[in-house]
Structure 1
Amino acid sequence: MRAYNLIRVILGYINTALGYLGKNGMNAIAISIFLGLFLPGIAQALRLFLTPAIFILLTLSFVRVNNTAIASQLKHPKLAIAATLWQMIFLPALVALACWQIGLDQIDVGVLTALFMVSAAPPVMSTPIFIWMYGMNGALALTISTLALIAAPLTTAFFASMILPASLQVNPYDLALNLAGFLLGSALLGRFLYYALGAKRIDAATDQINGLNCIVLFVFAVAAMDGVADFAWTSPFKAAALFLTVFSIATVQFLLTYLSFLSAGVQNAFIASYGVASRNLGLMVAALGGTVPELAWLFFAFAQFPIYLLPWILRPLALRAKAAENRQT
């Protein structure tokens, strides 16, 4: 009996801790990316858990996919479809055409891999979570993210064949199968948990799921930082240039999308832009087998900074967009 009570107390503390972490998710996620830099020894060990962490994050996202919310959005699907086509086809096509114009043989293989990942990857599946935290239409973000994930195996394989050189030995068909298997596995597990637990329990445990999401994101952040501290110490100017580059790419993608979708409303433009600026590069690394050129790995690692900091950086803009939308209605 005492053991049973002790377990209940421990579970109660865990539940409270996860709930607190989930309610303060934006700050916790922003802090975790910097903690990863100060744990280089752990980062090397946790790199083995990078792919499992991505799988868990996707599963947690699929657990919370609300069928009713997506069905409601798909009654008027033009905006969600347009945002998906923009992110998964139009933008990577622009990058591919630019690379072809320069000449693929003139561009470093690591740069090509990085450009492929940052232009072809779907949005991180935490996007709807932060859109909900902003008090915006999370169902729209969820619909765009889900459609992008469905399209990802085909679109990424197509652009891989256009951009990635033969020397990288990436078979587009294998890439598509790896990505499809990864997404299908996490989707099946996530939906099983959704129906097993029930929508009401999942809604009631939103903060706890957010807290668990933060813990896995922390593990992912530490694993992604493998080699970054050494690189920054030995090549500080290159590290600074790479840091500025990833933020510049995220900013350009965000602004270009925001301006392109502004006619659909300030809030809708913000939602479409957030997903474009926050790409799931980890999913691309996993689909590529976890082995990418060193420069592409460093790009992937540094790209986590804008992804982890965007929820905090964009909060003022999100509040203004929400207020502007409310004034118009």
Structure 2
Amino acid sequence: MPSTSETLIDRTGSLGRIRLNRPKALNSLTLAMVRDIENALDAFEADPAVAAVLLTGEGERGLCAGGDIRMIYDGGRAGSPEPVDFWREEYRMNARLARLAKPYVAFMDGIVMGGGVGVSVYGSHRIVTERTRFAMPETGIGFFPDVGASWFLTRRNDELGTYAALTGEQLAAGDVIAFGLADSHVPSERLPALAEKLSSLPATASHADVSAAIAAFAETLTPGEITGQRALIDRLFAFDTVEAIFAALERDGTDFAARALGILRMKSPLSLKVTLRLLRLGRKETALEACLEREFAATATVLRSHDFYEGVRAAVVDKDRNPRWRPAQLADVTEQDVAAFFEPAAKPLFAGATGKGERP
């Protein structure tokens, strides 16, 4: 099976295996890895001996912490085409995963963030563990939740997705299931046995057969702390402007509101506004591809923006955790600043395609 050392591709019994293999980098995705995944999906879909596909991350820390942000930072500053190529192929892969005919199982063990969400959340069988730490933290680096976040965080009739996207806070396993972003909880120590069970299924196994195999290893999990604040989140994050959300949090007076407000004040004001607009537009869409298209178009402005390079500098390069956003205040972000992120892409992702985007 064609692969690189960054992605291990093989078949065990009837199970096609994709193992992300950059453990020192928390399995962050490179362009080569995206291409490896696409090639593996081609091979597994065409192979009648493969009943299901399993995605896992090598190492002890997590499935995937996201895209290779340092590559995007360096490439963007140098004017390299690689960041655009990466996003183009990554987003197309996200849409491909949502349409995959065969069962696609993702072990969302440990850190699952950003692009790591993109390679798992569209699976037909998404499994979290007691170690899962799920987040879309992009507003903290001057970016916005992407890989279709304006789709998968807006499918529910509540504001949990708005909270998760704006704050970037980590969600525990119970919250991820309650959000509808995962399906089952399996203790991490039982994952190897589950993988072995899946590999022993007949090649003709159905989605229901895979579900039954997982159910034998799954345990009931109560919703997490954030889900317990749903009523409060629905009330405080229901607005269509970031200013209105800030005002509601300031008025509320609860410890939860005060903490959320403190978190939001650390984020890029411009990113917060762009993110909320993406979410509100995404809520109206009926196809995943439309959301991915809009997000891809916005990345062109990201590569020209001050806040992205400043956010990555503070978080990844210098690691001083002290980004100097521009504009520094929410009130100073203009409509023109935000509108720049919503210009159509010069070369669309899905020209002439509609897609269904059923998952999640």
TM-score by length of 2: 0.27
TM-score by length of 1: 0.29
**Structure ranking higher in helix proportion:** 1
**Structure ranking higher in strand proportion:** 2
Q: Which has the higher contact order (CA 8 A, sep 6+)?
A: 1
